[in-house]
Amino acid sequence: MEQPRRLVVPGRFDRLTEIATFITQAAHTAGLNDDDVFHVEMAVDEACSNIIEHAYAAQSGEIDLTCRCPVTGQFEVVIRDFGEPFDPEEIPPPDVSLPADLDALNEGGLGLYFMRKLMDEVRFEFVPGQGNRLTMLKRSKAA
């Protein structure tokens, strides 16, 4: 992938399929194998779902996605929104060794856990006046 790709959509659940199509096409073009493409798709879907449900909650707003290959073999996704920030450190990870507890988790807890498990790097930045910025990196395995 030579040029970064960008998609800006309203932050609504009915746009998740469009986001998935955008990110999987970009990841395929970047040379990721099918498993890695699925992992990226899932992490982005969980991130965007969290933005729609928690950052924007009752308000409307846009989700701005950019993906690029900063170096060969790396696929980076940056997701920006202008909703309420949150501290990811305040979300306890689920204990997946105790499945009986999972139904007590809020959706964000499991989604955040998936993002961190599926991507090689996950970084949140909250800058007053500039919105929220989530950067996720996937290092390509052999295709």
Partner 1 sequence: MNLETRELKHVSVVKVSGRVDSSTAPELEKALQSLLDSERSRIVLDFQDTEYMSSAGLRVLVAMHKAAKKSGGGLCLAQLSTRVKEVLDLAGLMPVFDVYTDVVEAVGSF
Options 3-11, 60-68, 75-83, 105-113: segment touching partner 1 (CB under 8 A):
105-113
Q: Rounded distance, CA 127 to CA 8, Å?
A: 20
Taking 3-state DSSP, the helix, strand and coil percentages for the chain, each rounded to the nearest 5, stand at: 40, 25, 30
Q: Rounded distance, CA 85 to CA 62, Å?
A: 14
Cβ nearer to partner 1, comparing 75 with 113: 113
User: Considering only residues 8, 57, 117, 141, which one is a binding residue for partner 1 as defined by CB under 8 A?
Assistant: 117
Alpha helices in 51-138 (DSSP H): 107-118
Q: Rounded distance, CA 47 to CA 61, Å?
A: 15
Alpha helices in 4-139 (DSSP H): 16-29, 34-50, 107-118
User: Are 57 and 84 in contact, with CB atoms under 8 Å apart?
Assistant: yes
Query: How many positions of this chain bind partner 1 (CB under 8 A)?
Result: 28
**Residue 83 touching partner 1 (CB under 8 A):** no
User: Considering only residues 1, 53, 54, 68, which one is a binding residue for partner 1 as defined by CB under 8 A?
Assistant: 53
Site for partner 1 in 32-51 (CB under 8 A): 38, 41-42, 45-46, 49
Contacts with partner 1, residue ranges (CB under 8 A) = 13-14, 16-17, 20, 38, 41-42, 45-46, 49, 52-53, 94, 96-100, 102-103, 105, 107, 110-111, 114, 117-118
